[in-house]
Each structure stands twice: as C-alpha cells, then as structure tokens.
C-alpha cells in the first residue's frame, strides 16, 4: 500500500478527462458486492460523487465504511462491479502515515512533488508554519493530523478521501480539526468523501450523509442538507 497522498490507480479505474464539469460526477461506483474469504462485506448499490460536494459515509465500526472508501481510492480491487474516477485524488488515512525520518516540510514535498512555496502555504493554512523543520515525533497527534491534511491539499486533488481523520482526538482537538478542514475546503473547494462513525461530524461537514447498514452492508439511508430522501436504490 502506498502511504502518501498521491493518486492511486487500479485496473478497474476508467479515467475520462472530458468528464470534468460540475454537472458530471467526479467518481461513480456501481458495486455488485465485496467479500473477504467468502464472507460478504458490502452488497449491491450505486454511488455518484458530484463536483464540489462533501459526502459522509456513516455507520458503526466494522460495517464496511473503510472498505468502501478503499474501493473508491483504487486500493481495494477485490470487489465486483465498476469504479469510474474522472480526476486526481488524495487519501487521508486514519493514521497520519508520515515519514518519521523526514522533517515536516519534506513530508509534504516528497510525497506530493510540490515545491517549498506551496508546501509552506499549506502549512500556514493548518497552523504549522513554524514547524517546517521539526520531525513527526516532535509533533502532537493533533499536529500530525494537521500535517496529514496539509499534505493532502498540497497534492491539489480534485477528489479527497478521508478515513476517520478526527478519530482518537480529544473533543477540543476534534473541534479544532473540524475548523481546519472547513477552512481548507472553503479555500480550495475540494470534492470530499469521508468516513466517520460520529453523527455530529457528518451533520456539520457533509452535504449528503450515506448510512451503511445490514449484512452485507448497503446504503440504507441517504440524507441531504435538511431533507431525508428515500433509501438509495440497489441494483
């Protein structure tokens, strides 16, 4: 597995550069199912991610949220169905996945290939402008999470995927991280899909909330800004 935020392609991805306007999805998934060792994990459903929106994947631990995100990222290829991605993506893992032997600045420029000027801009956006020469083990967990976000946005993704990026933080730090992400999203308008088990995070950040449930898990509920829609259709 790659441990940085550059785009990961799989053999199931179809990239069509003509599908980049706001009326077209950044990513679509027609999932027939996902099983591990013959144990069904995800069932059949369709998912489209539209340009500019933020989608939360909500559900209890072990339901298959991370598996769904990894399918979208191209990291999980054992599924049945079709995944189409029309633009570059970045992935923020549950753990910061930093390079411990490299300084903060290098942890942005090396994985993304961006220059020092852009990296410094992203560090300023997350409040780490004065930490460029420090190493990851000199940072708190909250600061490491901020660095992970800065690195992802330095890659200039059209689609950002985040796997419980605020987990294991104290409530006050969660509040800070939510604010950091909101500022980054406002500054860059990045389309985002994130996994969470916290309803409050989903409600605050997402334009759409997709709830996974059942076994195998499917999208059992789709909630928009203020109105609930009917359960999402299945194949």
pLDDT tens-digit profile of 109-159?
A: 999 999 999 999 999 999 999 999 999 999 999 999 999 999 999 999 999
Buried b vs exposed e over 63-98: b needs ≥16 C-beta within 10 Å? bbbbbbbbbbbbbbeebebebbbbbebbbbbbebbb
Looking up residue 153, the CATH number of its domain turns out to be: 3.40.50.300
pLDDT tens-digit profile of 185-234?
A: 999 999 999 999 899 999 999 999 999 999 999 999 888 855 444 344 33
Task: Flag whether 71 is in a domain.
Answer: yes
> In total, how many domains does the chain have?
1
Task: Flag whether 233 is in a domain.
Answer: no
The whole-model pTM stands at 0.84
The DSSP letter of residue 25 is: E
pLDDT for residue 168: 81
What is the span of the domain harbouring residue 212? 13-223
């Amino acid at each position: 597995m790659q441990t940085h935020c550059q785009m990961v392609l799989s053999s199931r991805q179809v990239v069509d550069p003509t599908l980049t306007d706001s009326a077209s999805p950044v990513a679509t998934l027609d999932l027939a199912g996902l099983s591990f060792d013959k144990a069904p994990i995800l069932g059949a459903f369709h998912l489209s991610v539209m340009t500019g929106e933020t989608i939360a994947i909500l559900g209890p631990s072990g339901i298959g949220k991370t598996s769904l995100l990894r399918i979208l990222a191209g990291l999980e290829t054992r599924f049945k169905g079709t995944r189409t991605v029309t633009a570059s993506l970045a992935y923020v893992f549950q753990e910061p996945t930093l390079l411990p032997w490299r300084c903060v600045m290098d942890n942005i420029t090396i994985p993304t290939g961006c220059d020092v000027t852009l990296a410094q801009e992203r560090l300023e956006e997350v409040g780490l402008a004065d930490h460029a020469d420090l190493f990851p083990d000199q940072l708190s967990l909250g600061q490491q999470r901020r660095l992970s976000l800065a690195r992802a946005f330095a890659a200039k993704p059209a689609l950002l995927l985040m796997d419980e990026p605020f987990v294991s933080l104290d409530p006050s730090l969660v509040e800070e991280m939510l604010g950091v992400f909101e500022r980054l999203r406002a500054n860059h308008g990045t389309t985002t899909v994130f996994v969470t088990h916290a309803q409050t995070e989903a409600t605050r950040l997402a334009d759409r909330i997709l709830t996974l449930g059942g076994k195998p898990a499917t999208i059992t509920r789709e909630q928009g800004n203020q109105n609930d829609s009917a359960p999402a259709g299945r194949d």
